[in-house]
Amino acid sequence: MQTQLEAGREISRVQSAVAARRAQATLYKRPRPGEDAIRVYLLLCGILSIFTTLGIIFVLGEESLRFFTSGVTNAVEFLTSIKWQPQAGEFGILPLLESTLMTSFMAMLVAIPLGLGSAIYLAEYAPSRVRSTMKPILEVLAGIPTVVYGYFALTFMTPALRGIFGQDAVQIYNTAAAGIVMGIMILPTISSMAEDALSSVPRSLREASYGLGATRFETIVKVVLPAALSGILAAFIIGISRAVGETMIVALAAGAGSNWSFPPNFFVAAETMTGHIARISGGDLSYDSVDYNSLFAIGLMLFFITLGLNLLSQWVSKRFREVYQ
Amino acid sequence: MTQNGAYAIQLKNVDVFYGPKLAVSDVSLNIQTRRITAFIGPSGCGKSTVLRSINRMNDLIPGARVQGDVTFQGQNLYAPEVDPVEVRRRIGMVFQKPNPFPKSIYDNVAYGPRLLGVRSKAVLDEIVEKSLKGAYLWDEVRSDLKKSGLALSGGQQQRLCIARTIAVEPEVILMDEPCSALDPIATQAVEDLMKILVKQYTIVIVTHNMQQAQRVSDFTAFFSIRKQEETPGKENRWGVLGEFAETTELFSSPNSEETERYIRGEFG
Amino acid sequence: MSASVSQANLLPTGAEFQKGLARRNFRGSVWGRFYSLSLLVAILALIALVLNIVNSAFGYAITAYEVEPTALVAGGDVGGLDAEQLVVILQDYQERRLPVYIRDNLSVVDPSIFTQVPLSESLAGRTFPAELAAMTVTELTRDQQAAVLAASLSVDTLRSLVEVEVIGEQVIHPYALSESLFERSRIDAELLEALEDEPNARLEFRSWLNFEFLTAAGSSDPAAAGVRTALLGTLWVIFITVLFAFPVGVGAAIYLEEYAVPNRLNKLIETNIRNLAGVPSIIYGLLGLAVLVRSLEFITQGRTILSAGLTLGLLILPVIIINSQEAIRAVPSSIREASFGVGATKWQTIWNQVLPAAMPGILTGTILAMSRAVGETAPLIVIGASTFIVTDPTSPFAKFTALPIQIYQWTARPQSEFRAIAAAAIIVLLVLLLLFNATAIILRQRYRKSLQG
């Protein structure tokens, strides 16, 4: 104790290096150029994202403008024609859009029931041990590169469909196989977002329902699902957005060459917007040709659709937050 | 009362706002050098807010604003040319919950001196040893300075935080309810330490515990709450300084009835 | 009292209630089964996907050699031969094609004038015996042509020439693993058929994923093709991607969490990042094509590793920022206060306290983003990486190919032998991803340990 007391008294005597600096120090601000430079750098990092967005809009807009003013086509024809035949100067986006919607529809047909079902199972039924094994498996599914899913669609799903529906009915390239596999790819996204929405429903609501003598299934359908509805809808919308923007699966499995089919036939080859961009840009493409510009016009369309869906999803889930907090 | 020399810190007509909301109004008090001053008062009376305005810790809260003069050695701490970093170096702070860095004991203590540019291993070793001795922690940790600060017990962690603070040789140490998260034995150790540190430093302590204020402090400031109904159902509350005196005097013969009721434990 | 009595009469009781409850429970259990079934479908899909790949990557194949490797060298392994020996083999078996090899591998002039100009011109800058400089390639003797090849070509190139041109392994029919296991009799029958056309045909069990596959360069011949070029391309691209996206992404996250006050600009940045995360990857490809490949060609040199790396960097930037923000937000503010309390500046506090504490989360997020970049194919196709490349990249300004691109090209071909090597390449890609994720887990745990001692 005595030595410690002495030590306490010694403090000021010993910390010479610090004390020497202290003696000269005033409270006045010292210039800190390093701090300022870092702050500017960090701000620039943040602002870069805005430039990325502006860059995307500018690039897509500029090239699209060239496309529409090239004289080969115009915006009205682009949006209304059902023929996309660049060799013949026909640039109507509808067939590409139709295939995109078809593959996305097929994907959602798979991903919505399975994604929501597995989310309900994980959030409401599964014991924690099952949950902790199943969630990483879904994460693995989410982490597989899309080109691998494309391989799977072409070498597994298509033969399987042809086996079931007949070689003649199902073409080697078709939107059904691409769509189904895309659904499997999107399933984990929907499942995890929907599960988050379900888990955030307050326990008290569930207990109130059980307290009135409802079964588990009734509680889920009548209380939990309606309460989590906005979050689940947001998950579905994000799923659609991902399906619309997905490229590699359709590039490998949906086929080349636009195809307007009415009524839609899911078993024939049809090129989607993304598939077309990938195929044309992957070949010999000369800059400043109409073909080149047309890709950006498709890209602009794609950008607006996905941005709209993303904003819609955010709006829907924001409403959800307002209601429950 | 006009002499600056005996006072480490003088607050004059200090108001603190959080955004548009007034948190503390019109606080004026003088804090004596090398004495322990305690801030007491009910929850929400702004005693921590006043404490944090002394070393400009409130700057870190978005929207917080301090009006009036806080003078440290004749300099207004809120003058535009004053650097808050420099202020905090000279007016150190110990927090309610022990908050050692997730680093070794040694690195915790050496952190401040390193910021000041001390690089020599020998000097750092010496500072660390003296600071830990000063915080009464040396004997307990000397054999294992590489151990994580988080591996210590709560009381040891708080003394580590004190060691970390005195390692940069501040002139004032602010303590924001330093013992509220500690058990009685650890509290005892920290209180003993304060009584030794005060030979060297000016100490301001916020405490919820009136016995603690009586045990350790030389002066006590009692803060209380003022209320005003702005619109029906919406009440504005802010803190004011109720009474400030020598501790023995404040507790034996309080000036106001409010102080008396508080120290008798009738509210708070 | 009377109200409750009348209400009781309205509700089903006794047997009626029991019957209703049984129906309700039945419905519940049916749906409950559907829910667990949908998870099962997801897992089955994953299993099918993996099995499908394994199924294609291994199995019997009917192959035939032009020349048996054992006829060239004892043991049949040409890997151990040196340049001289390899050139001798080429000369022995493909004497007449030696000028073609010189033209394809060494010539710096247009192929149409190659035979008309002297070596000093057609092979300018290459190493070859100086006394031949004045002669055209057709004037050389076979031995002299061989000497030129031996002097200039690497052992690797010569070996692949021997493999493709001399040994000429041909895959007549690859079989999937399932066929190999369960349809052996059909395979044997087909082997007999094949022997009628190709007396050298033989059946071998083949792992398309093997050491040679990993170390060989790309080739249009599936039996000789490998992923070395593509794998190196992928590693280069990812290196550039992370080099760019990590400091910028973490920087933006620090700015948003530690510096930004909630004003309009910062809210805009925040919303914008969330929206960028939802932009389809192919759009980033178009951005990279127009800006990095074309407008900034004077810096990036066009369709290079640098362009691709930066494109993917922009793509994963939002992911890194969002993950890093979460990690930084999770650092308790008491640590910041403690640091400020001893007189640290803002940046000192961030650098010494906040970043180390947030680093496990930041690293995990970055590696996850990296994994995404590794598998991204569409943007690389759009910026034009989809060309046939067999030379290893050596700088950020090199033209390149990447693993997912290679998988795409091989999968898109109709021949089943390309499907087999695509499957093998997929396994390489998945193992690479697995390594990344394992690294993430190890890093995180090690960091955690070092922090808590």
Q: Rounded to an integer, what distance in angstroms lies between the CA atom of residue C191 and that of residue C165?
A: 24
- Residue C207 is inside which H or E element, if any? strand C202-207
Asked if B136 and B159 count as a contact pair (C-beta separation under 8 A), the reply is yes
Q: Rounded to an integer, what distance in angstroms lies between the CA atom of residue C34 and that of residue C32?
A: 5
| A152 touching chain C per CB within 8 A | yes
Distances in Å between the Cα of C77 and the Cα atoms of A313, C69, C74, C94 are: 60, 7, 7, 19
**Contacting residues of C for A303, CB less than 8 Å apart:** 279-280, 283
**Contacting residues of B for A4, CB less than 8 Å apart:** 133, 136, 138-139
| C348 touching chain B per CB within 8 A | yes
Render the burial of C324-345: b for 16+ CB within 10 Å, e for the rest.
bbebbeebeebbbbbbbbbbbb
| A20 touching chain B per CB within 8 A | no
Per residue in C173-184, pLDDT (tens digit) is 888 888 888 888
| B99 touching chain C per CB within 8 A | yes
**Contacting residues of A for C362, CB less than 8 Å apart:** none
ipTM > 0.95 (yes/no): no
Q: Rounded to an integer, what distance in angstroms lies between the CA atom of residue C425 and that of residue C431?
A: 10
Rg (CA), chain A: 29
The per-residue pLDDT string of chain A (325 residues; one tens digit each, 9 = 90 and over) reads 445 545 444 444 444 444 444 444 577 777 788 888 999 999 999 999 999 999 999 999 999 998 888 877 888 888 888 888 887 778 888 889 999 999 999 999 999 999 999 999 999 888 888 888 888 888 888 889 999 999 999 999 999 999 999 888 888 899 999 999 999 999 999 999 999 999 888 887 888 888 777 888 888 888 888 888 889 999 999 999 999 999 999 999 988 888 888 788 888 888 999 999 998 888 777 787 888 888 999 999 999 999 999 999 988 888 766 454 4
Per residue in C239-295, pLDDT (tens digit) is 999 999 999 999 999 999 999 888 888 889 999 999 999 999 999 999 999 999 888
Closest residue in B to A19 (Cα–Cα): B169
Which of B99, B116, B151 lies at the smallest CB-CB distance from C338?
B99
Quote the strand ranges of chain B, DSSP E. 7-18, 21-32, 36-40, 64-72, 75-76, 91-94, 172-176, 202-206, 219-231, 234-246
Residues 6 or more apart whose CB falls under 8 angstroms from that of B195 comprise B36, B216
Q: Rounded to an integer, what distance in angstroms lies between the CA atom of residue B77 and that of residue B72?
A: 7
The pLDDT of residue C452? 53
Structure tokens belonging to residue B144: 């294992």
Asked if B94 and B173 count as a contact pair (C-beta separation under 8 A), the reply is yes
Q: How confident is the model at residue B268 (pLDDT cuts 50, 70, 90)?
A: low
Rg (CA), chain C: 31
Render the burial of B189-203: b for 16+ CB within 10 Å, e for the rest.
bbbebbebbbebbbb
Q: Rounded to an integer, what distance in angstroms lies between the CA atom of residue C30 and that of residue C23?
A: 11
Q: Do B150 and C453 touch (CB under 8 A)?
A: yes
Query: N- to C-terminal Cα distance for chain C?
Result: 69
The pLDDT of residue A323? 52
Residues 6 or more apart whose CB falls under 8 angstroms from that of B222 comprise B40, B41, B241, B242, B243, B244, B250, B254, B259, B262, B263
Q: Do C341 and B151 touch (CB under 8 A)?
A: no
The number of C-alpha atoms within 13 Å of C136 and in the hemisphere containing its C-beta is 7
Which of A11, A15, A28 lies at the smallest CB-CB distance from B81?
A28
Q: Rounded to an integer, what distance in angstroms lies between the CA atom of residue A111 and that of residue A8?
A: 69
The pLDDT of residue B186? 85
The number of C-alpha atoms within 13 Å of A293 and in the hemisphere containing its C-beta is 20
Q: How confident is the model at residue B15 (pLDDT cuts 50, 70, 90)?
A: very high
Q: Chain B: nearest CA to C271, how far in angstroms? A: 21
- Strand-strand pairing, B64-72 and B7-18: antiparallel
> Dihedral sign, CA of B239, B244, B246, B252?
negative
Asked if B190 and B182 count as a contact pair (C-beta separation under 8 A), the reply is yes
Give the DSSP letter string of C146-165. Answer: HHHHHHHS-HHHHHHHIIII
CB pairs under 8 A between A and C: 253
- How many Cβ atoms are within 10 Å of A191's Cβ, its own excluded? 31
Q: Rounded to an integer, what distance in angstroms lies between the CA atom of residue A67 and that of residue A69?
A: 6
Amino acid at A307: L
Q: Closest by alpha carbon to B199, among B5, B37, B7, B34?
A: B34
Rg (CA), chain B: 19
Q: Closest by alpha carbon to C310, among C295, C328, C329, C288?
A: C288
**Contacting residues of A for C254, CB less than 8 Å apart:** 42, 45
Residues 6 or more apart whose CB falls under 8 angstroms from that of A32 comprise C345
Q: How confident is the model at residue C7 (pLDDT cuts 50, 70, 90)?
A: low
Least confident among B129-133, B264-268, C149-153, C339-343: B264-268
**Contacting residues of A for B126, CB less than 8 Å apart:** 14-15
| A210 class by beta-carbon count within 10 Å (0-12 exposed, 13-18 middle, 19+ buried) | middle
Q: Rounded to an integer, what distance in angstroms lies between the CA atom of residue C136 and that of residue C122?
A: 8
| Residue A47: DSSP 8-state | H
Q: Chain A: nearest CA to B122, how far in angstroms? A: 11
| A130 class by beta-carbon count within 10 Å (0-12 exposed, 13-18 middle, 19+ buried) | middle
Structure tokens belonging to residue A22: 């202290």
pLDDT at C214 over 50: yes
Q: Chain B: nearest CA to C330, how far in angstroms? A: 14
Domains of chain C: 63-206 (no CATH), 228-452 (1.10.3720.10)
| A140 touching chain C per CB within 8 A | yes
Distances in Å between the Cα of A52 and the Cα atoms of A208, C315, C317 are: 49, 10, 10
Q: Do C382 and A278 touch (CB under 8 A)?
A: yes
| A160 class by beta-carbon count within 10 Å (0-12 exposed, 13-18 middle, 19+ buried) | middle
